[in-house]
Amino acid sequence: MRRSVATLMVLSIAACTGTTGDAPLIPVTVATTVETTSPAPTTTQEQAPTTSTPAAATSTTDSPALAPEDLVVESFPVRSGSGPHDVAPALDGGVWYTAQASGELGWLDPVTGETRHTDLASGSSPHGVIVDGAGTAWVTDSGLNAMVAVDPSGVEVNAYPLPEDRPGVNLNTASFDGEGMLWFTGQGGVYGRLDPVTGVMTVFDAPDGQGPYGITTTPAGDIYYASLAGSYVGAINDDGSTTVLEPPTAEQGARRVWSDSQGRVWVSEWNAGNLSRYTPQTETWDTWHLPGDGPQPYAVFVDDRDIVWASDFGSNSIVRFDPTTEEFHIFALPHDPGNVRQILGRVGEVWFPESAADNLVLIRTTG
């Protein structure tokens, strides 16, 4: 049901909303080892989605969209004990993933099933990963308390530590704004930005303290983040301050956020079991409750056709939602539990990491 409601120079210079610096952080070059493995052949597993009425997606690419009942779940095992947390399609056709349990950055070749692992340094606990226009993978590493850059080959690793007065912020996710600044969240109560060119880093205190988790960029280049503990969505202003946006459901536990092509911000509400959408142009909210008993939406992602995808810990499934028809389709995960904590994709592909099963999952959305 829908509800609408109208490395190592550290910076430490005081600012009204946090700490900032006028001199660059010098990245720390990390000594790395790269290991390549060839796991068991990739398996493909068809799933029968639970559906109300089949919905045809609106085509935005040259390839035809597949109907929900024709979608196939493909499973890609990665090295045992890696604990993949987040994924990011690479420019070379591979897929990066943070091997959180082993302190590495992994890379999967979807054609051969081969994986490669880059050691990120002692104490590493990588969480999020995204890719810039040059193919560099950017990792939020809570163990190192640093932003980490890995070159496309997986060989060169540079770390950008947070200021000394910001220890243990529990870094979570990152996103580039419209000017190329890299914004990041720390669930310990901060958000910040790094200039990848100059190395200048600025860290801000989040409203209400602990909670900043998911983050997204709209097509206009604006940044929004979700505060899990604070149960709000934060819109970052030009001066770095946050405007707090409160979804209609109290204490909903906003966990992840993602923008669609129109700049509307989708929110996965962990506590409430909802998907919500904020429309900045009208400053209004729409909310849909996930189907089933006790849904717990963790990740949210909007694909190239503006179809919304979420992971539901409550039903151990992936949820596809069509905003035009307001219909849900449910896909069982290959493993129980799968624990999909993040979703990302490229044109025609949606990727999920099963952190509890050392497995990556792909759904191809075009024929």
pLDDT in tens, 247-268: 999 999 999 999 999 999 999 9
Instruction: Read off the pLDDT band of 26 (50, 70, 90).
Output: very low
Q: What is the mean pLDDT of residues 89-114?
A: 98
- The whole-number pLDDT of residue 90 equals 98
17 pLDDT exceeds 50?
Answer: no
11 versus 330: the higher-pLDDT residue is 330
Read off the tokens for 225: 């983040």
Report the CATH fold assignment for 50-79+296-367: Neuraminidase (2.120.10)
219 pLDDT exceeds 70?
Answer: yes
Q: What is the mean pLDDT of residues 304-320?
A: 98
**Residue whose C-alpha is closest to residue 213's, from 183, 240, 239:** 183
Q: What is the percent of the chain with per-residue pLDDT over 90, rounded to a whole number?
A: 83
CA gap 91, 60 in Å, rounded? 20
pTM given for the model:
0.86
CA gap 147, 159 in Å, rounded? 6
The whole-chain average pLDDT of the chain stands at 88
**Residue whose C-alpha is closest to residue 173's, from 155, 195, 134, 147:** 147
* Range of weakest confidence among 10-24, 63-77, 157-171, 207-221: 10-24
CA gap 348, 51 in Å, rounded? 21
CA gap 265, 302 in Å, rounded? 10
Q: What is the pLDDT of residues 272-286, one digit of tens each?
A: 999 999 999 999 999
Instruction: Read off the pLDDT band of 36 (50, 70, 90).
Output: low
Q: Answer for the pair 127, 140: CB distance below 8 angstroms, yes or no.
A: yes
Instruction: Read off the pLDDT band of 105 (50, 70, 90).
Output: very high
Domain ranges of the chain: 50-79+296-367
219 versus 2: the higher-pLDDT residue is 219
Strand partners of residue 28: 159
Omega prior to 337 cis, within 30 of 0: yes
DSSP H or E stretch at residue 265: strand 265-269
DSSP H or E stretch at residue 161: strand 157-161
Q: Answer for the pair 116, 106: CB distance below 8 angstroms, yes or no.
A: yes
317 pLDDT exceeds 60?
Answer: yes
Q: CA dihedral defined by 344, 51, 292, 214, rounded to 10 degrees? A: 10
- The whole-number pLDDT of residue 227 equals 98
Q: What is the pLDDT of residues 158-177, one digit of tens each?
A: 999 999 999 999 999 999 99
Q: Answer for the pair 63, 366: CB distance below 8 angstroms, yes or no.
A: yes
Please name the residues in contact with 261: beta carbons below 8 A apart, sequence gap of 6 or more: 60, 219, 302, 306
